[in-house]
Amino acid sequence: MSSQPDLDQLQRRIGYQFKSPDRLMLALTHRSYSNQNNERLEFLGDSIVNMVIAEYLFRNFDKAREGHLSRLRARMVKGVTLAEIAREFQLGSYLRLGSGELKSGGFRRESILADAVESVIGAIYLDSDFYTCQEQVLRWFEPRLKQLDLQDTQKDSKTRLQEYLQSRQFPLPRYEVVSVDGEAHSQTFHVSCVLPSLDRKTSGVGNSRRVAEQEAARSALKQLGVETP
């Protein structure tokens, strides 16, 4: 991770050969490693991937409303999906991390992996042009894009629970972290969802606080009869 990675092997995996390998190296450099890091490339890559996926959805789901398109795009560009792509390329093995991040398993952390994918996208854009970058993004996302349909636009559990409570003028739920187990790089979160006005409390477990909160909200929706078990 902190040693010189084999960039040729990585470039074969991602399917793009850099004219300037220094751009790829910068895309793999986390802020914990150097002041010269991938944060600016991440900013650029985030905008590009959102644009590319948005255009694809606009062209391929011509009957979808704006809200449907937004939710489909959110599903594609969320951190979980980007981290999955990073793992497919074994990107974590090439990251340059500071000693603290290295010891805590930062090369496996979802947020760092997702940011690195966006940084590589930004680097490809600077190394080539928009259309070349677009081709790469669509190829990386192709298996997931082909599986999409309008049934995938359902709002997440926390949003549905919030809207259900607001429509009945009930107070919003309160999420509390009950406990966190495991090492820093492999944690399990236990979260409760408290509905004060309904005297209900549900729980959720996940490998991140966000996932655990979604599970707790889903359980609350089932208790309220909004969703079937």
Catalytic residue annotation: 46, 118
11, 14, 43: which is closest to 141 by C-alpha?
14
Detail the residues annotated as belonging to a binding site: 42, 115, 118
Assign 148 to helix, strand or coil.
coil
Angle at 10 between CA 6 and CA 14, to 5 degrees: 170
Residue pair 152/73 in contact (Cβ under 8 Å)? The answer is no
Give the Cα separation of 118 and 41 in Å (integer). 7
Give the Cα separation of 127 and 16 in Å (integer). 10
Residue pair 28/116 in contact (Cβ under 8 Å)? The answer is yes
Detail the residues annotated as belonging to a binding site for Mg(2+): 42, 115, 118
Please give the structure tokens belonging to residue 168.
């009945």
